[in-house]
Amino acid sequence: MKQKLESLQVGRGVAAFMVLLFHSQVFMRVVHPDSAFARMFGFGRTGVDFFFVLSGFLMVYVHRRDFGAPQRLGVYAYKRLTRIYPVYWVLCAVLIPLVLVAPSVMQNQGKTTLPTLLMSVFLVPHDGMRLIGITWSLEYEMMFYLAFAAFFVSARFGLACFGAWFVAIAGAAIWGPATLNSIGVPQIAPFILGFVLNLHVGEFMLGMVAAWLIQRGVRLRAPRAALAAALISAAVFAAYEANFLPEDQTLRSVTAAYGVLAGMIVYAVVQTELRYPARMPRWLTLLGAASYAIYLTHYLVVALALVVARHWPALAAIPAPLLLLLLLALGLAPGIVLHLVVERPLLLMFAARLQQRESHVEGGPPIVPNVAVG
């Protein structure tokens, strides 16, 4: 089985860019409220759905051989924690002093309370404000990583845990509240119960199923046609949602539909790469490699742009298309720089230490680390 899936690496970059487009609407509504750019990128939030499906896929695709091997749990935890926390904590180290010194500038609205701040820094699920608003999704990632450890105990134990979890999520979706809040949590009390029963968790499971099917040798006869059909279906549904569904609430059916479509796209993308391998452009693979850093930093860029827009009305003199392009460039650049200067060196360092430790234990030579799949 092919270890490095460049198509998914590129998909990460596309998903991060979609989320950037979605958040750019907030800025455009302030500066150019009558522009089409202020309302045409609602589909961009589905980049999060793709991220969740992709995470579930990669966990099974990368760690399938570790199922039933509890001695590999330490390595698994090391890989997951070093992938998520170090670069995030670098940003926290910059933001926390600003929040404490100038809360009005950071618009923190209660983030300085110690319990909320600590939960935000350590990505503990909570219903308060966050240091970086978009990190609500990372709380789901961490919960999924923790639950996925059940497969290291045994494959059957993991299947039993996730099977029961899926049934509970499906039950909440069918008989629970029809709407979700702004971060996709069903209106179920207490908060943590709604968090655990969120339909987004089902998206991780869809990715897991896609990886299992591929590893079982289930193939599509025409993967490129299937990919085209999945992408067209996603575009049609996004247009339907934008024009016929209410904007003031997130429907559970919408979340479920985007999860299924994201699962279909991931499955078809991987099938296409396995059947028709092709070299991806370097700039696209770079965008994918920097996707996590872009995902974190773009939110801060848009927030800062909003502060500037509210204090500098002259921005309205810049044509909407040009202003949007400028915002998109500014939204991508810090993440790419953060990846090249901070994230990539850290990942290589952590991977090298792990490889050296494992090669020392096994008596073999050190292996050059590959952090592309993550």
pLDDT tens figures, 261-274 = 999 999 999 999 99
Distance separating alpha carbons of residues 270 and 253, to the nearest angstrom:
26
State the pTM of this model: 0.91
Quick one: how many helices (H) and strands (E) in the chain?
16, 2
Phi, psi (rounded to 5 degrees) for 97? -60, -35
Specify the DSSP class assigned to residue 179: E
| Coil, helix or strand at residue 338 | helix
pLDDT of residue 89: 97
pLDDT of residue 172: 86
Closest to 54 measured CA to CA, from 86, 1, 10: 10
pLDDT of residue 186: 72
pLDDT of residue 370: 37
- Yes or no: say if 132 and 91 are a contact pair by the CB < 8 Å rule: yes
Distance separating alpha carbons of residues 68 and 195, to the nearest angstrom:
28
pLDDT tens digits for 122-143?
A: 999 998 888 898 999 999 999 9
pLDDT of residue 98: 81
pLDDT of residue 183: 62
Q: Residue 144, Cα to own-chain centre: how many angstroms?
A: 12
Residues of the chain with pLDDT under 50: 108-109, 363-374
pLDDT of residue 3: 65
Instruction: Tell me the one-letter amino acid at 284.
Output: L
The 10 Å CB-count burial string (b at 16+, else e) for 71-107 is eeeebbeebbebbbbebbebbbeebbeebeeeeeebe
pLDDT of residue 106: 54
